[in-house]
A and B are shown apart, each in its own frame.
Chain A
Amino acid sequence: MGMSGRKLAVVLTALAWSVLAAGLARLAAQQSATDRLIRSLQSRVKMYPQDYAGYDQLGAAYIQKGRETGDATYYELAKESLGKSLDLVNNDPAAASAKTHMAVVAMAEHRFEDALKWAEDALALGSGDPSPWAIVGDAHTDLGQYDEAQAAYGKLRDLNQEGRPLSGISYVRDSRLAYLRFIFGDPKSAVELMRNAIQTAMALHMPAENIAWSDYQLGEICFKSGDLTGAEQAYQAGLAADPNSYRNLAGLAEVRTAQLRYQDAIDLDTRAIAAIPYPMFAASLYDLYLKVGRPADAEKQHDLIEFIGNLNPINQRLFYRDLALFYADHDMKLKESLELAQEELKVRQDIYTWDIMAWVLYKNGRVHEAEAAISKALRMGTTDALLYFHAGMIYSQLGDKAKAGDYLGKALATNGQFHIFYADDAAKMVGVSRQIKDGGQDGNR
């Protein structure tokens, strides 16, 4: 790196830190209920150092804080606290909760095999609490073992609430099964299950963050399967539940992009990044700035992505997939994008990791390997316009015009506005001119 490059790096680092600091300062100012809980539990374990349940609850509070802030260092604190709990009680049903929380941390850190092991260890204690099955299912999902995931979710039955639909367990089961139904290519059932889960969450007065997360999941399912109206309603509901829900801000930005309301989308993504500077939010903003002809602003987002993605080893692991996709989408660092995708594939073998692997292989000119990878991504029959688009591009490169046309047509039929750039590309390739009706909420069907 030359002198100017080094200067630039310093400036950009400062910029990135300022974004991070602004987000964290805002969160600190909020002094959330989680902060108060953490302080109270810290006092409790200081006063009673043999209180295994106190350490477990403190660990859980750190996890919640990590979830709320996206700051991975809270997971380290959680592990430390949970480890102390397990030092005090280990071979006892009472240890199931701490082991389950360890599994949650492992999931958050994308250590899926570890998560599976912790959750199974928790279950092996025979505590009678079926909730670790949710993490067993989640881990299998990320490992691409969908049948095992389905079997695990099937175990989520609250024996004490049998016959009563409104239980925390039914919320967990429905929300998880909804995602699986989507993966299995049944978005209608997925939406129905997710709506059930949200109703249950609201009836049980679950924390706003959980309700907002569920709305976001519903929005994602709707968006990917082409229901922009449903997606918008879900993201808006998520923001009504929790106005700081960065996921829903970013989701709504996606809808606004599809509606060609780019400035609104920029504003929403900017708000999402101010809350949590996730690389994928910055990547969306990067695209938006390019689209509206603001390359200098786009470049700042690019630098932010690089900075966040490489902030520390945990971040590197968490964002392999986002970075790989960003590089591949923008024809940057293609060799590195492949390496990142390969690293991700070592720990996660779900259909979306195979999709990204396929896409980076395609971008690296290894199109036959890309075809093998995209077949794995499509194997469950998932209805997702972006998956179809990637497949279409790969088959086009392979010279299989029929399959290319088929997949590109399916991409547009699923969601005519599935991507800020690729929807146009797909339309051009299949010779379809895009028509935006009703304010852009409905593409070619």
Chain B
Amino acid sequence: MQAWRGSILVILAAAAVSSAQVGLLSPAEEKIQTAEKAIQNNPQRYQNYNDLAFALVSWAREISDAKCYSQAAEAVEKSLSLAPGNFEALKAQVEVLLGQRRWKEALECARPLNQRTPDDVPIWGYLAEAAFALGDYDESVKATQWMLDLRQNNARGLLRAAELRVVHGYLDGALDFYNQVYQQVPPHEVAQIASILTHMAGAELMRGRVESAQKLLDQALQQFPGYYLSIETLARLRAAQGNSREAVDLWRRRNQELPTPESLYGLAQALEQDGQRDQAKAAYAEFERAATPLVDQPANANRELVLYNVTYAHNPAQALRVARLEVARRHDVFTLDAYAWALADNGQYAEAKAQMEKALAVGTQDAAFFYHAGVIASKLNDRSAAEHYFKESLDLNSVSTVSAQVRQELQSIETRDRSGQAAARGK
């Protein structure tokens, strides 16, 4: 029992900042405390450990701390030792695997549970989440549809459906679903409210609606001050507005507690954009040190590592090596895009085009995708496709992180056209 007590205290201490900022315990922290007390009162009741595991998973999602998943896994193990095969523990186990980004294992664990209890909505949710992360969007859609058919308007189903709509480029529909969930959430669930608002802001930002995104993020941070995901999105928004100094400040604030390799990369990019070369160099180095050992791990920053090697380190071979590792694990649109970008950087434009088309076929409305597709088309001397993609990128989001490069590319196409016309006239 002592070990349990100690481990939870360590986790609670780690989140002291977020709690102090809010002034109250978050709902997940409250649930952890309740479960802890219940374990103290009745250490032989397996359900108490399940409750603790679920609460820890919720908390891990609130504060982005992978260590919580290990603690949750221990709680699941304890529950299963007290009551082998108990259903709630097996469900918690899948949630832990999903949190640890072990999607294939999560699928393997969730499938027999789904066969055992086919009307269990959360299990369909696990299948949907794992399939989504792996890029099996059709499977994810099927599982999500089951969720909504079994229990209309349930929040998990709507959130999953909203994410699918985002990836399929149906942003208005996604916002509609997010809004429906938002209406359902009770006021004390501040972390969930902030998460929904931040996802909505992310969808708005994808199409350059900066003001709307700003309002949603203001609301999110008012609800749940210091929420890491809101700060990350706000930093991206500032970058889109050209306010790179504030973007740097926000990334620094984000990285004060529990930085991830992805958030270190965000800071490095912001520093570079702000012209702080030495600081950017140091930040990129820190990112590389953090991300490289994780290359073979399920929870990695391989997509960022690919982009880093292409755009900053100029190490095409390393970019492609990492991209191939990741694409062997999953083929979601973002991994496909990173892979295509790495292939292009290695001069393999035809294969890059094929991978990029696979990503675009899903329908995701991401300005960077269109930029990458445009560059690849340009390298393949497909002027009209390149122009089409660049224009799509700008039409979608005129203030995206790649909008400056897109404008430059369009300008160089025009310049080339003019030179060509002049040369033709000269002849």
Instruction: Beyond the given A94-B120, A125-B155, A128-B151, please list 16 additional residue pairs across the A-B interface where CB-CB is below 8 A.
Output: A89-B88, A90-B47, A91-B50, A91-B92, A92-B91, A93-B151, A120-B186, A120-B188, A123-B185, A124-B192, A126-B154, A126-B155, A128-B153, A128-B157, A148-B187, A157-B183
- Is B121 an interface residue when CB atoms closer than 8 A count as contact? yes
Contact A124 B27 (CB under 8 A): yes
Q: How far is the CB of A55 from chain B (nearest CB, A)?
A: 14
Contact of B50 among A90, A127, A136, A157 (CB under 8 A): A90
Residue of chain B at shortest CB distance from A120: B186
Contact A130 B186 (CB under 8 A): no
Contact B186 A87 (CB under 8 A): no
Q: How far is the CB of B150 from chain A (nearest CB, A)?
A: 9
Which B residues, 38 to 96, have Cβ-Cβ distances below 8 Å to chain A?
A: 47, 50-51, 54, 88, 91-92
Contact B155 A128 (CB under 8 A): yes
- Is B415 an interface residue when CB atoms closer than 8 A count as contact? no
Q: How far is the CB of A410 from chain B (nearest CB, A)?
A: 36
Contact of A124 among B120, B122, B183, B185 (CB under 8 A): B185
Q: How far is the CB of A155 from chain B (nearest CB, A)?
A: 6
Residue of chain A at shortest CB distance from B121: A93
Contact of A155 among B156, B157, B183 (CB under 8 A): B183
- Is B184 an interface residue when CB atoms closer than 8 A count as contact? yes
From known contacts A90-B88, A93-B122, A136-B186, infer whether A126 and B50 are also in contact, taking CB-CB under 8 Å: no
- Is B181 an interface residue when CB atoms closer than 8 A count as contact? yes
Q: List 10 A-B contacts (CB under 8 A).
A: A91-B51, A91-B91, A91-B92, A91-B122, A93-B122, A93-B154, A124-B185, A124-B186, A124-B189, A124-B192
- Is B180 an interface residue when CB atoms closer than 8 A count as contact? yes
Contact A128 B184 (CB under 8 A): yes
Residue of chain B at shortest CB distance from A92: B122
Contact A91 B184 (CB under 8 A): no
Which residues of A are interface residues toward B (Cβ below 8 A)?
A: 87, 89-94, 119-120, 123-128, 130, 136, 148, 155, 157, 159-160
Contact B192 A128 (CB under 8 A): no
- Is B419 an interface residue when CB atoms closer than 8 A count as contact? no
Count of chain B residues with a beta carbon within 8 Å of a chain A beta carbon:
29
CA distance A127 to B188 in the complex (A): 17
Contact A127 B154 (CB under 8 A): yes
- Is B152 an interface residue when CB atoms closer than 8 A count as contact? yes
Contact A130 B156 (CB under 8 A): no
Contact of A159 among B91, B153, B156, B192 (CB under 8 A): B153
Residue of chain A at shortest CB distance from B47: A87
The dominant DSSP class at the B interface is: helix
Q: How far is the CB of A157 from chain B (nearest CB, A)?
A: 8
Contact of A123 among B151, B157, B158, B184 (CB under 8 A): B184
As a 0/1 sequence over residues 352 to 394 of chain B, the CB contacts with chain A under 8 angstroms (1 = contact) are 0000000000000000000000000000000000000000000
CA distance A106 to B191 in the complex (A): 26
CA distance A126 to B122 in the complex (A): 11
Which B residues, 151 to 189, have Cβ-Cβ distances below 8 Å to chain A?
A: 151-158, 180-181, 183-189
**Contacts between the two chains (Cβ within 8 Å), count:** 69
Q: How far is the CB of A148 from chain B (nearest CB, A)?
A: 8
From known contacts A90-B50, A91-B51, A160-B152, infer whether A126 and B184 are also in contact, taking CB-CB under 8 Å: yes
Residues of B within 8 A of A125 (CB): 155
Residues of A within 8 A of B27 (CB): 124
From known contacts A90-B88, A92-B122, A94-B121, infer whether A128 and B154 are also in contact, taking CB-CB under 8 Å: yes
- Of A91, A127, A130, chain B has the most CB atoms within 10 Å of the CB of A91
CA distance A90 to B55 in the complex (A): 12
Contact A128 B152 (CB under 8 A): yes
CA distance A159 to B180 in the complex (A): 9
Residue of chain B at shortest CB distance from A154: B183
Q: How far is the CB of A139 from chain B (nearest CB, A)?
A: 11
From known contacts A91-B88, A92-B120, infer whether A126 and B51 are also in contact, taking CB-CB under 8 Å: no
Residue of chain A at shortest CB distance from B189: A124
Contact B186 A123 (CB under 8 A): yes
Residue of chain A at shortest CB distance from B155: A126
CA distance A90 to B47 in the complex (A): 9
Q: How far is the CB of A142 from chain B (nearest CB, A)?
A: 17
- Report, nearest first, the 6 A-B pairs whose CB atoms are least far apart: A126-B155, A128-B153, A120-B186, A128-B154, A123-B186, A91-B54
Residues of A within 8 A of B50 (CB): 90-91
Residue of chain B at shortest CB distance from A87: B47
Residues of B within 8 A of A90 (CB): 47, 50-51, 88
Contact A159 B51 (CB under 8 A): no
Residue of chain B at shortest CB distance from A155: B183
CA distance A178 to B88 in the complex (A): 42
Residues of B within 8 A of A124 (CB): 27, 185-186, 188-189, 192
Q: How far is the CB of A124 from chain B (nearest CB, A)?
A: 5
Residues of B within 8 A of A93 (CB): 121-122, 151, 154-156
CA distance A157 to B183 in the complex (A): 10
Contact A127 B183 (CB under 8 A): no
Residue of chain A at shortest CB distance from B156: A126
Residues of A within 8 A of B183 (CB): 155, 157
Residues of A within 8 A of B154 (CB): 93, 126-128
CA distance A125 to B157 in the complex (A): 12
Q: How far is the CB of B105 from chain A (nearest CB, A)?
A: 20
Q: How far is the CB of A93 from chain B (nearest CB, A)?
A: 5
Residues of A within 8 A of B155 (CB): 93, 125-128
Residues of B within 8 A of A160 (CB): 152-153
Residues of B within 8 A of A92 (CB): 91, 120-122
Residues of B within 8 A of A94 (CB): 120-121
CA distance A128 to B152 in the complex (A): 6
Residues of A within 8 A of B92 (CB): 91
